[in-house]
């Protein structure tokens, strides 16, 4: 099927989805959850084909694990869909209702975006996750997963589409780009006649490719260097707990700490404690010249080179730099892509205010871990993506960020502009 | 000066602007307004150079009039700047403040976008207008006006920059792309390292060019076919008043009526009345076959051809089509770019609900003129653009739409994700 036709069908389905009641959408979600469990066998069989091929092509154990489905994981995915049912449906709510002086009654009503295109990597759970969140917000979705998950995704989409039809909804509400050609991604990015938003879920390369080639608005995000700046006004044991949490809790996450900026007034005291703590957590330290002496007791220490402070480590590695004050910390962050999650550990109010105001990050923390940047943590109930751009949505995106609004003006034939 | 340097300077200025108090920004705006009046002579002299060149190159009287400045118009522009002073500053306000279960105090704070690039046509007032709105919201701006207004714009930007410096603000807060090369526009559209949003203000061609070439988020808008659907449940004299207002008040506006869809149940009665009313207003009618007989008394009537219902007339011309019911009206609108402003004139509640829910327009009216779609009418106090896309902002964009937000999380070192 050509992408043009896929797009047309999605747009047509989006017209139907936009006027569904919440209970109709929830019934379809319930059918999807039930079918995921009922059709376990065919899904796991398809997943096995992907897994076998992935093993043969020598995919790493970590990637194989991301790809792998089993009964327990499928039950978890079904449970996530049921969780989406319980979330508040933002569609139809009205904001800024008022009567203008000329008599027009004006409001903004939340409506679906229309059609959302999602390009993602080798995680089959994303297929269900995105489809469910789009459905809940009345959006049609066009999905394109990694080629390693092809058979799994086809099986999952078949389950979704049969559940949609069973619920009286158009199957084209959730569609999958079946062919593996990379050119189709480029074509999807230019389908602006039908698609209203593109969400890339993957590495910086995918985002860059979407940014450069898409004629459709793209949500850029999911990466950025995370910083903590710490000064001498805080309890150092507590500060080390926050630093360790930010770095170690899940190093592969985009909100994990990349660079620690240590105020010169606390460096002599803090750096040896940091070395000891990071030794215990098996964290490698990559430090500027001015931090090397203080970190001498670190088991795994190396001098920072070109680009190290522009690196999102995604691993047990931490950049360390001694800075003169909060201003140098801010200047460092501005030149090293602080756009995601950054924190200050300080009880010095002017420094805190300055940091919070100046940080260019989607999420700024005071005396708290960068790991908080997460839709579930923020109570959004779901996370579509974490945006690091400034338009439309910034930081964790929940259901509301999958919506737009329309202005509605009600007159009596007499109100005049 | 290279665009790279212009971009760097704008980004640097945006850091300063982001932390200014409202009174600092208002003082700079007041200085700009005062200087516009004080330096009238140099501005009008520059404008005369543009006018003379435009006359020589045979520009139409309408375009010359748009280009022309005089004392009165400059006073009007200064007064518009003073009006921006009186508007509420959205920056710094916080939304969704709450304490999470784990103890983190979370909020969203409104912040500037950063750097806004604006590409516009030959209206010198836009230079001041955009600069003032960006300044009020703490954004740096990079402006690029039409080549016909080059000398006027250079004089206006010189006035702005001297007023900024006089107020202790960076002159680079408002910059103008001085060279006339069209290639520089393409370069601006790829300056994503420094520019956060592009606003094209011009025709469909400019928007299309931005959409296709920009790696920066673009606000698409300012055009679209405007429709009115009228059925037999309303007072026809009142309906004709609304139709006439929508079409005739300012035909060159993007919210002016383009296509009238007449329900078959009211066509026999309404069409002759419409012909008479449009005759008086010197409106040419372009009608489908099924409306021709009813419009027989029209002085200027022609059969609609291919593409006529996809034409934004921007003139005293109106498309007329008889439709079976509200569903045919909706189907017509979906295939003829109803994305800006559309109205239903009806007292039939199910039809009204269906129309409001199904219309894909940024603004939908019930028994009111499409001409209401305007920032001033909506009480926004200003209008940066009228967006017809669904991300970030839709419909008239005021000061709030020139902002983003950052998440702020305040902890006590103990709250854990």
Average pLDDT, chain B: 95
Do B394 and A377 make contact, defined as CB atoms within 8 angstroms?
A: no
**A22, A230, A278, A332, A402 from A236: Cα distances, Å:** 50, 9, 14, 22, 41
Is B93 in the A-facing interface, judged by CB distances under 8 Å?
no
How far, rounded to the nearest angstrom, does the alpha carbon of residue A415 sit from its chain's CA centroid?
45
The tens digit of pLDDT for each residue in B129-156 reads: 999 999 999 999 999 999 899 999 999 9
The tens digit of pLDDT for each residue in A71-85 reads: 999 999 999 999 999
Residue of A nearest to B192 (CA): A211
Residues of B in contact with A415 (CB under 8 A): 368-369, 372
Please say whether the beta carbons of A47 and A125 come within 8 A: no
Question: Does residue A380 or residue B180 have the better pLDDT?
Answer: A380
Which tokens sit at A105? 């009654």
Is B217 in the A-facing interface, judged by CB distances under 8 Å?
yes
Whether the per-residue pLDDT at A122 is higher than 80: the answer is: no
Is A347 in the B-facing interface, judged by CB distances under 8 Å?
no
Note the pLDDT of residue B180: 73
Note the pLDDT of residue A233: 97
Do A363 and B392 make contact, defined as CB atoms within 8 angstroms?
A: no
Is A356 in the B-facing interface, judged by CB distances under 8 Å?
yes
Do B391 and A217 make contact, defined as CB atoms within 8 angstroms?
A: yes
DSSP string, A188-204: HTT-TTT--EEEEES-H
Note the pLDDT of residue A204: 85
Please list the residues that pair with B317 across neighbouring strands: B284
Cα–Cα distance for residue pair A200/A126, rounded to 1 Å: 12
The tens digit of pLDDT for each residue in B345-394 reads: 999 999 999 999 999 999 999 999 999 999 989 988 888 999 999 999 99
Tell me which residue has tokens 């808008």: B221
Chains A, B: CB pairs < 8 Å: 194
Residues of B in contact with A106 (CB under 8 A): 378
Sheet of strand B317-323, all strands in order from the earlier edge strand to the far edge: A94-99, A105-112, A403-410, B363-366, B341-345, B227-230, B259-263, B317-323, B284-287, B301-303
Cα–Cα distance for residue pair B187/B7, rounded to 1 Å: 11
DSSP strand E in B234-325: where?
Answer: 259-263, 284-287, 301-303, 317-323
B279: left (phi over 0), alpha (psi -120 to 50) or beta: alpha
Q: What is the ipTM of this complex?
A: 0.95
Query: What percentage of residues in chain A have a pLDDT greater than 90?
Result: 90
Whether the per-residue pLDDT at A214 is higher than 80: the answer is: yes
Note the pLDDT of residue A382: 82
Is A350 in the B-facing interface, judged by CB distances under 8 Å?
no
Residues of B in contact with A195 (CB under 8 A): none
3-state secondary structure of B296: coil
Note the pLDDT of residue B367: 98
Lowest mean pLDDT among A28-42, A60-74, A158-172, B345-359: A60-74
Note the pLDDT of residue B17: 98
Handedness of CA B237, B239, B240, B246 (dihedral sign): positive
Cα–Cα distance for residue pair A217/A230, rounded to 1 Å: 37
Whether the per-residue pLDDT at A180 is higher than 80: the answer is: no
The tens digit of pLDDT for each residue in A324-369 reads: 999 999 999 999 999 999 999 999 999 999 999 999 999 999 999 9
Cα–Cα distance for residue pair B372/A415, rounded to 1 Å: 9
Cα–Cα distance for residue pair A336/A277, rounded to 1 Å: 25
Question: For the residues B3-19, what does the mean pLDDT come to?
Answer: 97
Please list the residues that pair with A303 across neighbouring strands: A287
How far, rounded to the nearest angstrom, does the alpha carbon of residue A247 sit from its chain's CA centroid?
19
Confidence class for position A183, pLDDT limits 50, 70, 90: confident
Note the pLDDT of residue A63: 87
Q: Which of A357, A378, A390 sits opposite B113 (nearest CB)?
A: A390
Residues A349-358: contacts with CB within 8 Å, 24+ apart?
Answer: A351/A231, A351/A233, A351/A325, A351/A326, A354/A326, A354/A327, A354/A330, A355/A229, A355/A326, A355/A329, A355/A330, A356/B408, A357/B18, A357/B19, A358/A330, A358/B15, A358/B18, A358/B19
Is A212 in the B-facing interface, judged by CB distances under 8 Å?
yes
Please say whether the beta carbons of B383 and B367 come within 8 A: no
Q: Best mutation site among A409, A410, A412 for testing chain B: the one with the most B CBs within 10 Å?
A: A409
Q: Which of A362, A367, A371 sits opposite B412 (nearest CB)?
A: A367
The tens digit of pLDDT for each residue in B177-225 reads: 988 777 899 999 999 999 999 999 988 889 999 999 999 999 998 888 9
Confidence class for position B320, pLDDT limits 50, 70, 90: very high
Residues of B in contact with A409 (CB under 8 A): 363-366, 368, 372
């Amino acid at each position: 099927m050509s992408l043009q036709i896929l797009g047309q069908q999605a747009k047509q389905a989006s017209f139907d989805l936009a006027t569904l009641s919440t209970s109709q959408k929830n019934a379809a979600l319930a059918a999807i959850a039930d079918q995921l469990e009922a059709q376990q066998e065919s899904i796991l069989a398809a997943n096995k084909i992907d897994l076998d091929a992935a093993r043969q092509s020598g995919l790493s154990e970590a990637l194989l694990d991301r790809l792998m489905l089993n009964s327990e994981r499928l039950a978890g995915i079904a449970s996530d869909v049921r969780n989406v049912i319980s979330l508040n449906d933002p569609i139809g709510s009205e904001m800024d209702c008022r009567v203008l002086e000329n008599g027009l009654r004006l409001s903004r009503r939340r409506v679906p975006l229309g059609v959302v295109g999602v390009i993602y990597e080798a995680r089959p759970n994303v297929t269900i996750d995105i489809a469910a969140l789009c459905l809940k917000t009345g959006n049609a979705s066009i999905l394109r997963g990694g080629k390693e998950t092809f058979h799994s995704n086809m099986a999952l989409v078949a389950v979704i589409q049969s559940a949609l039809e069973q619920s009286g909804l158009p199957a084209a509400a959730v569609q999958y780009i079946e062919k593996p050609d990379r050119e189709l991604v480029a074509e999807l990015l230019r389908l602006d006649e039908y698609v209203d938003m593109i969400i890339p879920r993957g590495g910086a390369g995918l985002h860059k490719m979407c940014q450069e080639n898409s004629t459709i608005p793209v949500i850029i995000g999911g990466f950025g260097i995370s910083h903590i700046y710490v000064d001498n006004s805080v309890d150092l044991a507590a500060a080390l707990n926050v630093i360790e949490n930010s770095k170690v809790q899940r190093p592969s996450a985009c909100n994990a700490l990349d660079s620690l900026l240590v105020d010169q007034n606390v460096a002599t005291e803090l750096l040896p404690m940091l070395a000891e703590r990071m030794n215990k957590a098996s964290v490698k330290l990559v430090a500027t010249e001015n931090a090397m002496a203080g970190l001498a007791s670190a088991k795994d220490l190396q001098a920072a080179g070109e680009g190290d402070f522009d690196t999102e480590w995604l691993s047990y590695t931490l950049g360390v730099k001694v800075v003169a004050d909060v201003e140098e910390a801010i200047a460092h962050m501005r030149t090293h892509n602080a756009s995601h999650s950054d924190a200050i550990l300080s009880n010095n109010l002017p420094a805190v205010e300055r940091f919070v105001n100046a940080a260019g990050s989607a999420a700024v923390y005071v005396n708290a871990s960068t790991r908080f940047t997460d839709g579930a943590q923020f109570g959004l109930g779901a996370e579509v993506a974490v945006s690091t751009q400034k338009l439309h949505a910034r930081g964790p995106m929940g259901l509301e960020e999958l919506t737009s609004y329309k202005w509605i003006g009600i007159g009596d034939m007499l109100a005049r502009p």
